[in-house]
Amino acid sequence: MIEKAEIRKCAQANYRDYLTGHGSYAMQALVQIVTGLPAWQKAQRVALTLSQTGELPTQLLIETALLQGKDVFLPRVAPKRQLEFIPINQDTTYERHPYGMLEPVGTPLSEVEQLDFVLVPGLAYSQAGDRVGFGGGYYDRFLIRVPNAATVGVTLPANYYPTPIWPVEVCDYRVQTVRLLKGVQQQDDENS
């Protein structure tokens, strides 16, 4: 077993390495992977994230979702390590949280059960959907509130484990679907 903190460090280093030079590819690949999922195609209300440095870039996916006419929601952290989801559009304004991430300004969705699809930010995933996030437990607390939403994680091949090598806690929530950004390294290297 390797502590989650150790996996986090390693996974973040992999992301940093990968995104240096492959960031724009990753942004497009994320759109292709996510929009290809049947659960996405069926979904009307989708919860995404606003990526920070070192995460898979989500900007193009957010724009694509809006163009596809979906209702798009982005998270804000709330007291007691809860997440709120704010509906966004082209006119939404954002403010910086003291922890560093940008968050949308607006009135949160009052009934999160209405979400159809949640893209879950994660550093590392196992094949079964076990997840290592940034360590706040925010999504573990949130995902139990949306049992009917499709939950999807996307990660790098380097951050994907057939079985979790970290201690999985009872409160850790699995995502239903894990997809990898794969086959992109060689293809991208030719152009960089």
Q: Which does 141 bind (CB under 5 to 8 A by kind): ligand ATP, ligand FFO, none?
A: ligand ATP
Residues that bind ligand ATP (rule: CB under 6 A) add up to a total of 14
Binding-site member from 21, 23, 36, 136 for ligand ATP (CB under 6 A): 136
**CA–CA distance, 160 with 154 (Å, rounded to integer):** 9
**Do 123 and 2 contact (CB within 8 A), yes or no?**
no
Token pair for 118: 């949640």
Residue found by looking up tokens 């930010």 in the block: 121
Give yes or no for residue 133 binding ligand ATP (CB under 6 A). Answer: yes
8 is in an annotated binding site: yes
**Do 160 and 154 contact (CB within 8 A), yes or no?**
no
CB of 133 to ligand ATP, least distance (A): 2
- By beta-carbon proximity to ligand ATP, the closer residue of 139 and 160 is 139
Residues that bind ligand FFO (rule: CB under 6 A) add up to a total of 17
Q: Which among 11-19, 34-42, 109-117, 130-138 is the span making contact with ligand FFO, rule CB under 6 A?
A: 130-138
CB atoms within 10 A of CB 83: 20
Shortest CA distance to 15 belongs to which of 47, 57, 48, 49? 57
- Per DSSP, helices labelled H in 79-118 are none
Binding stretches for ligand FFO (CB under 6 A): 49-52, 55, 75, 77, 83, 99, 101, 121, 133-136, 138-139
Which residues form the interface with ligand ATP (CB under 6 A)? 4, 132-141, 169, 171-172
